[in-house]
Structure 1
Amino acid sequence: MLVSGSLSSWTACLGLLSALSATFAPAVAVKEHDWKKCHQSGFCARNRAFADHALTATSWESPYNILADAGSFKDGQYQGVILKTINDAGETVRLPITISFLKSGTARVTVDEEKRQKGEIELRHDSKARKERYNEAEKWVIVGGLALDKNAKVAHQDKNQLTVKFGPFSTFEAVINFSPFSIDFKRDGETHIKLNDQGLLNIEHWRPKVDKPAEPEKEDDGNDTPDEEGKEEQTEKKEEPKKEDESTWWEESFGGNTDTKPRGPESVALDISFIGYEHVFGIPSHAGPMALKQTRGGEGNYEEPYRMYNADVFEYILDSPMTLYGSIPFMQAHRKESSVGVFWLNAAETWVDITKGKDSKNPKALGVESKTSTRTHWMSESGLLDVFVFLGPTPGDLLSKYTELTGTTAMPQEFAIAYHQCRWNYISEDDVKEVDAKMDKFKMPYDVIWLDIEFSDDKKYFAWDKHSFPTPLEMGKHLASRGRKLVTINDPHIKNVADYPVVQELKDKDLGVHNKDGKLFEGWCWPGSSHWIDGFNPAAREWWVSLFKYDKWKGSMENTFLWNDMNEPSVFNGPETTMPKDNLHFGNWEHRDVHNLYGLTFHSATFEALKSRKPGELRRPFVLTRAFFSGSQRAAAMWTGDNQADWGHLASSIPMVLNQGISGFPFAGADVGGFFGNPDKDLLTRWYQAGAFSPFFRAHAHIDSRRREPYLHGEPYTTIISAALRLRYSLLPAWYTAFRHAHLNGAPILKPMFYTHWSEEAGLTIDDQFFLGTTGLLVKPVTQKDQTTQTIWIPDDEAYYDYFTYERIPTVKGKNVTVDAPLEKIPVLMRGSHIFPRRDIPRRSSALMKWDDYTLVVATSAKADEPADGDLYVDDGDSYDYQQGQYIHRRFTFDPAEGTLTSADFEGRNVASIKEGEWLKKMHQVGVDKVIIVGAPASWAGKTTAKVQSEGREWEVKVEFTPAEKGKAAFAVVRKLGVKIGADWKVVF
C-alpha cells in the first residue's frame, strides 16, 4: 500500500494498474497509438525529412565524399575515410570506411566515426554511457564467413572511383565512387545493388550539447497567405538545406516517458537500391504479405516504414508494418532467375522505407525496356553503418552465405518437431496427467506438454507452486514413462521480493540491467516489481547457466525444457512496454544500442544452461523464444506471438512462417487455434491442419479462453484433428531430414515458390503455398471459412498426385488447379520425380517410433525416363553424437529406364569404415517395411515379384500392382523388403 510519495509516483502507479488491467482483460485489438509511428521517433522523422529534401531539391548533392588519396586496398579490403561536410563554412567530420570482400563472395561495408578526443568527451553532459558508437553487434551475431578474399583485385582506379573485382571467378564488381560517395555492385557486368544511389546517406555525427537561448516568437502580421514576393522567397528556400530539427537530439518523450540521450543524435541511414527488382522480401517479423509493400502511401501501400524494434505487442493487427516481437534485418530481392540481398547489422531501433519505380525515364524509347526497381531507405538510431551485400544469383546462395555469417538453425531433438500441447495455464499436476491420459484415450499423438507462468510460486521462476505442483519430479517421471517431455516458462524478469534467493543473488553479484544513473533497474512485469538479467554480462550468463543444474532447480529433470517469453524485454510500465533506452548494460552500453539483441542474449544463455545441467550429460537443448535477432536460429525456435482466433490470423500465419524460413530462422510456427479468443470448431480444425505443416507445431491459448484440447470437440472434429496429428507423425522422418538440410546450409524447411522455381516470375509473390523440404510435397492449407475447394498454382510441367488418393491431378504449368478440400482434407500434392520417407505405425509419441521401420513413397515423373530421388536423414534425435558421424543419411533413386530403386549413402561415405556407437548398432534392426510407387509404369501389370540385392545377398519380394482407374494413377506396393535402412541396397523390378 502506498502511504506517501509524489504525485508523479501516484500517476505512475495508476498507469501501471491500467496497463495490468489491459493485459489481463479479455482480448481487444491492439492500440496502435501505444507504439510509435515514424514521426514520433525523432531519428526516423529526421531521416525521413532528410530524404524528402534530398529527393525534391533540384540542386541536392550528398555531403559525403571519400578522400581519394587517403584510401588503400590490400588483401581483399579497402580502407579509407569519408569526409562529411557539415556546414556552409566547409567544416567536415571524418568517417572511417572499410569495404571487405569476403571469400564467400559477400561484400561488407562498414562506416564508423573517428574516436573522440578527451577534450571533446568532456563537452558531453554527465553520463555513464560509452562515448563511442556501439560496435559489438558482430560479437553476438557473426560466427564465421569473414575470411577475406585475397584474390580480389583492383580492376580500375582513378581520381573519381575504384573498381574491385571479387567473388567466384571474379564475376562480381564493386564500383566505389568517391564524390559523392556511392557503391555500385554488379554481377556479370550488370548492376544489381546500389548504395547511396539517391544520396540519402546520413550519419549523425558527434557534437557537444550547447544550451541555446530560446528563439523569440515571430509576430503575426495577420496575413494568412504570403504575398508574391514571399512566395518567390519560399520557392528559393526549398533549394537550400533545411535547418536541422534539434528538438529530439538530447531527449524526447512518448506516452508519458522521457528518453534522455546522453550522446545526442547519432543515427545512421542509407538508401539501398535493388536495380531491376520489383519485389523484396524478408525483414521479419511483421504481420503482412511476404512480398514487402511500399511505405510512402498510395493505394494498397503503407504510410509508415517497416519498423524493427522488438516489442510485446498485445494482440497484433494484420497487414501492418508495425513492429512485432523479433527482428531480422536481412532483405532479399528476387526476380526471374536472379536473387540478391543485404544484411543490415545494427541492433538499435530500425525503420525501413520502401518505394518502387520505373528505371527508364523514356519507356517509349525504341529498344528501351522499362524495368521496375525497388529503393529502400534504412534508418537506425545508433551504432555503426554495417551492411553486407549478397549478389546471389540464386535464393539458395543468399541463404547459404547469410547463414555462413550468422549460423544455421540448430539441429533439434526429434521430439521438438512433433506436436506440443500448451495453454495458459495447466493448473495442477492432476490437470497435466488428465490431459496426458485423454490424448492417449482419443488416440492423439503428442510429445510435449507446457506450463505457463502459473506453475511457479507467485511468479518466482525456479520455484514450483507448492499447492498445484507439489511433486514435479513425479509428474516429470510420469511423462517420461510415456516418451513425453515438459516445457516450463522462464522469463528474464526476476521478482523483487525479500524471500527469493534468486533475486538476492542477482543483487549481491550485480548481474542486472542498470538504469541511466548506474543503479539496478526496477520495473514491472508479471511478478510485479522486478529486476532484469543483463545477458550482455558474462558473469550474468554464467550465473544463469548455474541456476538450471538439477541439484539447484529442484523438480526439473532430463525431460524438462524451456520457454523464454517476454524477452523483448517486456516491461509493463516502460516506454512502449519495454525498457528505457537510456538504461545501461555491461560495458556501459545504452539499451538503445542493443535493444534488438537483448532477447538473443537471454535465450542463448538458456540454451547453454540446458547443455550443462549435469556433468557428462551433453544433450541437445530445446528453447522457445519470443524475441529474436539474426543468429537466434543457432539456439532456439520461435513463434509468431499473441495471435487471435480468427481466419485472418490463420491465413497470415503462413506468410509469416515462410518469411522466417527465407530469413534464416526456419524453426517457426504460430499458436494453433489463436492465442486470444475462442475459435469455432471449423477454424480450430483447419488450424490443426495448417499447423501439421508448420516447422514448430504447438497449440496454445489465453488464460481467459475456453478449454480447447483437441479431443474436446466431438465428431467429426475429433477424428479430423486426430488425422492431422497422425499425418504429422507419419511424416516426421521427412521433417527431420528437412531440418538436417537447414542445419547444413540454411535452406528453408518450408520453401516458397520462388525458392524452388526461381525461373517462374508468376510465383514470386505467392505466399500461401509451399514445398516441404526435399519431399516434393506441395501444400496449401485452407484458411477461409466454409471453403471446400482449394486452388493451387502449379509451377512446372511435372506430374502432380493427390497425396491421399493417388489421383493424377490434371495440371498446366503456370496455371491454377482446383482440388477438393472438404473439412476433413488437407490439400497436399506429391510432385513427380520425388521420393520421401514416412513411418506408418501409429504411436502416441515420437520416442515410441524410434525403432520403427520406414515406408518410402516414390512419385514418378511425368517424363517416362526421368528419375525420381529423395533422401532420409536420421540420428539418435537427442545427443551430439551425429557430429562424430553417428547418423544415417541415405539417397534414394528410382530409375524407370532401368526399373530399379536404389539406396546409397547421401554423402558417398564408406559406411563400413564408421565405428558404430550403440545407436548405430541398434539401427541394424530397422529396415524398410514398404515401398509405394505412385505412377508405376503400366508395363508392370501382372508383375508379382521384384529382386532385392543388399550386403552380398539377393532375394525376391512380392509386388502388388493396381492399375490406373477413374483418375487415379497406377501404383505398386512392395512390402517387407528385408533391407536395413542404413545399408546399400537395390530393388530390381
Structure 2
Amino acid sequence: MVGAGSSPPSLRWTTLLYFLVLLCALITPGVSVKENDFKRCSQSGFCKRNRAYADNAIALGSEWQAPYKIPSEQASFKDGQFKATISKAIDEQGNTVRLPLTISFLKSGTARVTVDEEKRREKDIELRHNSKARKERYNEAEKWTIVGGLDIDTNAQVAHESKTGIKIKYGPELAFEADITYEPYSIEFKRDGVTQIKLNDRGLMNLEHWRPKVEKPVAEKKEGEEGQEEKKDETPEVNPAENESTWWEETFGGNTDSKPRGPESVALDITFVGYEHVYGIPEHAGPLSLKETRGGDGNYEQPYRLYNSDVFEYVLDSPMTLYGAIPFMQAQRKDSTVGVFWLNAAETWIDITKDKESKNPLALGVGAKTNTHTHWMSEAGLMDVFVFLGPTPRDVTKNYAELTGTTALPQEFSLGYHQCRWNYVSDDDVKEVDRKMDRYNIPYDVIWLDIEYTDDKKYFTWDGDMFKDPIAMGKHLDAHGRKLVVIIDPHIKNAGGYHVSDELKSKDLAVRNKDGNIFDGWCWPGSSHWIDAFNSAAIQWWSSLFNYDKFKGTMENTFIWNDMNEPSVFNGPEVTMPKDNLHYEDWEHRDVHNINGMTFHNATYEAMLSRKKGELRRPFVLTRSFFAGSQRLGAMWTGDNQASWEHLGAAIPMILAQGISGFPFAGADVGGFFGNPELELQSRWYQAGAFYPFFRGHAHIDARRREPFLLAEPHRSIITSALRLRYSLLPAWYTAFYHANRDGSPIIRPLYWTHPSEEGGFDIDDQFFVGSTGLLVKPVVQKDKTTVDIFIPDDEVYYDYFSYKKLPTAKGKQVTVEAPIETIPVLMRGGHIIPRRDTPRRSAQLMKFDDYTLVVAVGKKGQAEGELYVDDGDSFDYEKGQYIHRTFKLEGSTLTSTDAEGRDTKSIEEGEWLKQMHGVAVDKVIIVGAPSSWASKKEVVVESEGKTVSVPLDYHKADGSRAAFAIVQRVGARIGADWTITFA
C-alpha cells in the first residue's frame, strides 16, 4: 500500500480495481492477503532450487562433494589482492564453468570477495530467443551503493602458501587472516588466530552459470492421439534442484516472467563460528535478534526475504519482505562482533540455522558454543561479499559506513514533530490545523500533504479547487516557523497534455517493457509510466521539475516525500514491476529491483539541491523504499502499520534494526496508519515516538481525525508533554545525528551495541540508549501497563530522568520503574552530561537562538562527560567550519567546556550564524547526584573569556524520593566559548 493508504471516496475505477484484487485475496479461505500476494520460497524458482541444493548437500553429509575448486596454477597474490579462477565441471565431457575470483584486502581491515562469470560466448547468446536484455551479470550495484573505503591494503602479506591453499594476513597489525582452501573452494576468516566467519564451509555455494536454451523436441503424435497433449499425470517427479521448469519462464499470480537469460542465481553459505545472535538485514517486522528459518519451536519456516514490496497491512513476527532491503548482517558474542555485507540488488532470500557444538561429547552442552549458519540466495548478479571482523559493534558499523556512506546531516527542523494524514483536504484545512496546534500550545515543525493535493493525481500540480493559493499557505506556515512536505511518487499519469508525462515520453526517460516499449502499469493515477532514475539524463530532467518556476506553489519551506518507489504497481506481479522490464543500458528489472527505490530517492535528493540557482540547502526527502546507501539521502519510515498495541511494540526493533544497518534516520507512523487508536494507545505511541529518530504522526484517509489538539484530557496534555520533551532534547538528538553523520553510529542503540560484554542484553530489543547521551528509554507498549522492567547492563548508577530518583540497580538485573499513563520510563546513566533547551517554543526554528541547560548525571566515581554539536541546521556551511562542538567534563569540583576537536575557534572566520550565536549562553546547569560537600555553598565561580563571576547555586538534599541535586543559576557563559565552573 501507500504512504497514502487505500482509496478515497472519489477514487476512479482504475485504483478501485487494486482494492478489489486485495479483497478477493482477503476472502480466500485460510490465506491472508499478505501470504497470497507475495511468494514463499517454494514459489520462487531460484530459492526453491537453492534450498533443495542445500537439503541434498546436508543430507549427504560427509559424502557431499562440493563442486567448486581453484586450480592452484591459476591463483596469485599481489599488492593486496588475491586473484584466481574457480572452476566447476558441468558435464561428463569435461566442460567447465570458469568463475573469476578476486579477494581484495582493504585498508579498513575489510575483505571483499567477488565472484563473476566469464563473459558469455556469442554463440550461446545467439541460441537464446531475441531479447534486448544485457547478456552479462549485473555489475553496477557498486556504482549506486559504494562511495569509499575501497583502498587496497598493500601491506597484506602471504603467511603460508601451498598447492592446497594460501593464508593471507591483513588488517590492523596483521591481526586478521584469510585462509583460502582450493579444493573444494572455501575461505576461513580469523582474528587473532581464532576463526570468526567461514564462506562455503558447508559447500552450499551454487552459481547457476550461463547456458543456451535447448528446445526439447516434441514427440510426434500417433494416429488417434489428438488431444492427449494435455495429459500431465505421467510427468515424472524431478529433484527441485535440477528442475528446469522455472529456468526460462516463471508464473505467479497470473503474471509470467519471461526470464530471457535463463537461470543465473548465486548462493553461498556463510557461517558465524561461535556466534548465537545475528542482527540486521532489514526490513522485516520481527525481533532484532534474527530467528531461525527452518522450522522448530518459535522459529520461522520461510527464509528472510529481501525484495522491496508494497505490502498491504503487513503482518508481524515474520521474515516476509517489506519495503526496503539492506543485506548487511552482524553477529554478536561476548566481546566480539563481526559482519557481512552481501552486495546484490536482486531478489534475495536468507536462511538462518543454529547448532551447538562441544569438543567433549560427555559435557552435556557445558562449554558448547553455538554456530549460526546462514545461506544467502540471490536471483542474479555477482557474488560480492564484504567481510568485517570487528572486534566491536562500533568497528563493524564504522567500516560498513566507509563503504556505503553515513547518514546525511539533516535539516534541524526534520528532528521535530511532523503532522501528517492522508489527506489534509485544502489549504484552509492546513492553515486551520496550524492555528489549532498553536492555540493549544502543541509544538510541531512540519505538516504533510498526501496525494489528494494534486490535480487528478498529476504530480507537480495542485488541485485548483481545494488548494487555490498554495503560496499563501506556504507563507502562513513560514511565518510560524513551519515547513510543508508534499508527496511525489515515481509513477507518472499517462495523460495527454500533462507536461510531465509528455516530456517523460518525448525524452525517452521511462522504464521500458521486455519488448523495449514504454512500460504502462497501474497506480494511483490509473494508467502510469515510471521514471527510470538509473539514467543520469532522467535525473537531470527530474531535477528541473522541482525548480520554483516549474513546480509552482512551492517555496523554500517546501520539502518532499517519496512513496510507492519499490516500485508499487497495482496490476504487476507481487504488486510491483515485472522482472523482465528494462532499465537504462538494458539491465533487467530483476537485476536492480532492490536499488530502484534508492535511485528515485537519489533523483529527488539531487533535485532538491538545485531548486534555485545559488540556494544550497540540505534536502529533506522521506523514502519508503531503500537499499544500502539510502542513508546518504534522507529518512525512512516503516510503512503502513496498524493502530494496535502489537504494531506499537514491533516498531522499536524495526527502528533499531535500521540503525545498526546504517540507516538510523528511521521512524514509524505514530498512532498507526490503519485504524483508530484508542486514547491510551495513542498517548503511549506519542511517548514512544518522541524517541524515534524520525517522529511523524500519520493516518489513513478513512481514519478519524486525530490531531493531538482533538483529544480529550488528560490525553491531550500527555501527548503535549511528550512533544515538549522531544523539543527540549533536540540539542542531544542533533548531536547524535552529528555522530551518525561522522561514523555511521546508530542514533538509538540496542544494548548489544552499547554493551557488547553483557550477554544478558543481546536479545533485548524493547529498550535503547539515545546516542551517547546516557539516556536509557523503555517505552510502554502494552495496554494498561503502569510499570516497566528495565534491564541494567552495567554497574553504573542510574537516575530517573524526571524525578532524579536514584534507582536500586545492579548489573545484569532488571529494575522496576513506575510508568503511569502520564510518564515515559527514561533513565539517566551516571557519568553523562545532557544538553537541552528548556524554553517552550512552537517549532525548532524558533528555538535556534535559545540558551542551553546542561543536565549532569554524576557517575559512581564523581565524574561526568558529554558534548554538544550545533550548526545553522539548514545549510552546508558546517563543511566550512561554521559550527560549535563542545565537550563538557565534570571532574571533582570543576565543570569545564572546551572545543571537542581542540580547534582554535578564534581563528575561524565567523559567518552570520556564528556571529548570532555569540548571544546564546548556558542558562543553567543541573547536577543530579551532587556531592554533599556542596550543600553549604550558595554561589559558584564561573570563568570564561577573561571574566570571573559568582552565580547562585541551589542545593537540594537527597530524600527518599530523589537523589541530591544542585542547580547553577544564570551561568551566562557563551555556549561557543571555553568556560569553567568551580564548585569547591
Range into which the TM-score falls when normalised by the shorter chain: over 0.9
The question of 1:875 aligning with 2:871 is answered yes
Cα distance in 2 between the residues matched to 1:367 and 1:244: 39
Cα distance in 1 between the residues matched to 2:573 and 2:352: 27
Name which of 51, 55, 59 aligns with 1:56: 59
Most deviating of 425-434 and 365-374: 365-374
Cα distance in 1 between the residues matched to 2:298 and 2:91: 40
- Opposite residue 90 of structure 1, the aligned amino acid is G
Cα distance in 1 between the residues matched to 2:822 and 2:240: 63
The question of 1:704 aligning with 2:702 is answered yes
Instruction: Specify the alignment match of 1:957 in structure 2.
Output: 951
- Opposite residue 917 of structure 2, the aligned amino acid is M
Name which of 110, 116, 121 aligns with 1:112: 116
Listed as ranges, the gaps of 5+ residues in structure 2 are: 1-11, 222-235
- State whether residues 30 and 316 of structure 1, in contact with CA within 8 Å, keep that contact through their aligned partners in structure 2: no
Instruction: Specify the alignment match of 1:942 in structure 2.
Output: 936
Q: Which residues of 2 match residues 650-799 of structure 1 at below 5 A?
A: 650-799=648-797
Name which of 434, 437, 440 aligns with 2:438: 440
Q: Which residues of 2 match residues 794-833 of structure 1 at below 5 A?
A: 794-833=792-831
* CA apart distance, 1:14: 10
Q: Which residues of 2 match residues 223-262 of structure 1 at below 5 A?
A: 244-262=242-260
Cα distance in 1 between the residues matched to 2:556 and 2:732: 26
Instruction: Specify the alignment match of 2:142 in structure 1.
Output: 138
Instruction: Specify the alignment match of 1:103 in structure 2.
Output: 107
Instruction: Specify the alignment match of 2:516 in structure 1.
Output: 518
Number of matched pairs:
953
- Opposite residue 410 of structure 1, the aligned amino acid is A
Per the normalisation by structure 2, the TM-score is 0.95
- Opposite residue 190 of structure 2, the aligned amino acid is K
* CA apart distance, 1:88: 3.8
* CA apart distance, 1:714: 1.0
TM-superposition CA deviations, 1:256-293 (whole Å, max 9, x none): 00001100000000000000000100000000000000
- State whether residues 544 and 606 of structure 1, in contact with CA within 8 Å, keep that contact through their aligned partners in structure 2: yes
Name which of 583, 596, 619 aligns with 2:617: 619
Cα distance in 1 between the residues matched to 2:840 and 2:516: 58
The question of 1:209 aligning with 2:213 is answered yes
* CA apart distance, 1:774: 1.2
Q: Which aligned segments of 4 or more residues in structure 1 are displaced greater than 6 angstroms?
A: 13-16, 23-29
* CA apart distance, 1:812: 1.1
The question of 1:31 aligning with 2:34 is answered yes
Name which of 84, 93, 96 aligns with 2:97: 93
Instruction: Specify the alignment match of 2:266 in structure 1.
Output: 268
Q: 1:66 is paired with a residue of what secondary structure?
A: coil
- Opposite residue 588 of structure 1, the aligned amino acid is D
Name which of 878, 900, 905 aligns with 2:899: 905
* CA apart distance, 1:800: 0.6
- State whether residues 26 and 704 of structure 1, in contact with CA within 8 Å, keep that contact through their aligned partners in structure 2: no
Name which of 886, 893, 901 aligns with 1:890: 886
Q: 1:973 is paired with a residue of what secondary structure?
A: strand
Instruction: Specify the alignment match of 1:194 in structure 2.
Output: 198
Name which of 325, 328, 331 aligns with 1:327: 325
Q: 1:909 is paired with a residue of what secondary structure?
A: coil
* CA apart distance, 1:116: 1.5
* CA apart distance, 1:91: 2.3
Percentage of identical aligned residues? 68
Name which of 956, 961, 976 aligns with 1:967: 961
* CA apart distance, 1:360: 3.0
Cα distance in 1 between the residues matched to 2:808 and 2:442: 35
Cα distance in 2 between the residues matched to 1:172 and 1:969: 48
- Opposite residue 737 of structure 2, the aligned amino acid is F
Most deviating of 461-470 and 28-37: 28-37
Q: 1:53 is paired with a residue of what secondary structure?
A: helix
Cα distance in 1 between the residues matched to 2:786 and 2:885: 39
TM-superposition CA deviations, 1:287-330 (whole Å, max 9, x none): 00000000000010000000000000001000000000000000
- State whether residues 48 and 240 of structure 2, in contact with CA within 8 Å, keep that contact through their aligned partners in structure 1: no
Cα distance in 2 between the residues matched to 1:213 and 1:294: 44
Instruction: Specify the alignment match of 1:914 in structure 2.
Output: 908
The question of 1:172 aligning with 2:170 is answered no
Q: 1:299 to 1:366 in 2, by over 3 A?
A: closer
* CA apart distance, 1:212: 1.3
Cα distance in 2 between the residues matched to 1:216 and 1:347: 44
- State whether residues 943 and 980 of structure 2, in contact with CA within 8 Å, keep that contact through their aligned partners in structure 1: yes
Cα distance in 1 between the residues matched to 2:361 and 2:712: 62
* CA apart distance, 1:87: 2.8
Cα distance in 2 between the residues matched to 1:905 and 1:728: 26
Cα distance in 2 between the residues matched to 1:668 and 1:216: 62
Q: Which residues of 2 match residues 446-595 of structure 1 at below 5 A?
A: 446-595=444-593
Cα distance in 1 between the residues matched to 2:691 and 2:938: 36
Cα distance in 1 between the residues matched to 2:24 and 2:356: 49
* CA apart distance, 1:19: 2.0
* CA apart distance, 1:31: 3.1
Instruction: Specify the alignment match of 2:849 in structure 1.
Output: 851
Cα distance in 1 between the residues matched to 2:462 and 2:386: 46
* CA apart distance, 1:242: 8.0
- State whether residues 857 and 931 of structure 1, in contact with CA within 8 Å, keep that contact through their aligned partners in structure 2: yes
Instruction: Specify the alignment match of 2:225 in structure 1.
Output: none
Instruction: Specify the alignment match of 1:381 in structure 2.
Output: 379
- State whether residues 345 and 594 of structure 2, in contact with CA within 8 Å, keep that contact through their aligned partners in structure 1: yes
Q: 1:934 to 1:587 in 2, by over 3 A?
A: same
Instruction: Specify the alignment match of 1:19 in structure 2.
Output: 18
Q: Which residues of 2 match residues 242-321 of structure 1 at below 5 A?
A: 244-321=242-319
Cα distance in 2 between the residues matched to 1:786 and 1:729: 27
Q: 2:69 is paired with a residue of what secondary structure?
A: strand
Cα distance in 2 between the residues matched to 1:370 and 1:21: 54
Instruction: Specify the alignment match of 1:413 in structure 2.
Output: 411
Cα distance in 2 between the residues matched to 1:306 and 1:645: 25
- State whether residues 733 and 874 of structure 1, in contact with CA within 8 Å, keep that contact through their aligned partners in structure 2: yes
Per the normalisation by structure 1, the TM-score is 0.95
- State whether residues 752 and 770 of structure 1, in contact with CA within 8 Å, keep that contact through their aligned partners in structure 2: yes
Cα distance in 1 between the residues matched to 2:108 and 2:375: 26
- State whether residues 775 and 835 of structure 1, in contact with CA within 8 Å, keep that contact through their aligned partners in structure 2: yes
* CA apart distance, 1:20: 3.3
Instruction: Specify the alignment match of 1:73 in structure 2.
Output: 77
Instruction: Specify the alignment match of 1:3 in structure 2.
Output: none
- State whether residues 311 and 578 of structure 1, in contact with CA within 8 Å, keep that contact through their aligned partners in structure 2: yes
- Opposite residue 984 of structure 1, the aligned amino acid is D
- State whether residues 63 and 86 of structure 1, in contact with CA within 8 Å, keep that contact through their aligned partners in structure 2: no
- Opposite residue 46 of structure 1, the aligned amino acid is R
Cα distance in 1 between the residues matched to 2:707 and 2:464: 25
Q: 1:95 to 1:215 in 2, by over 3 A?
A: farther
Q: 2:437 is paired with a residue of what secondary structure?
A: helix
- State whether residues 290 and 658 of structure 1, in contact with CA within 8 Å, keep that contact through their aligned partners in structure 2: yes
TM-superposition CA deviations, 1:612-638 (whole Å, max 9, x none): 101110000000000000000000200
Cα distance in 2 between the residues matched to 1:92 and 1:903: 68
- State whether residues 418 and 444 of structure 2, in contact with CA within 8 Å, keep that contact through their aligned partners in structure 1: yes
Cα distance in 2 between the residues matched to 1:31 and 1:888: 49
- Opposite residue 60 of structure 2, the aligned amino acid is A
Cα distance in 1 between the residues matched to 2:500 and 2:873: 33
- State whether residues 363 and 369 of structure 1, in contact with CA within 8 Å, keep that contact through their aligned partners in structure 2: no
- State whether residues 25 and 36 of structure 2, in contact with CA within 8 Å, keep that contact through their aligned partners in structure 1: no
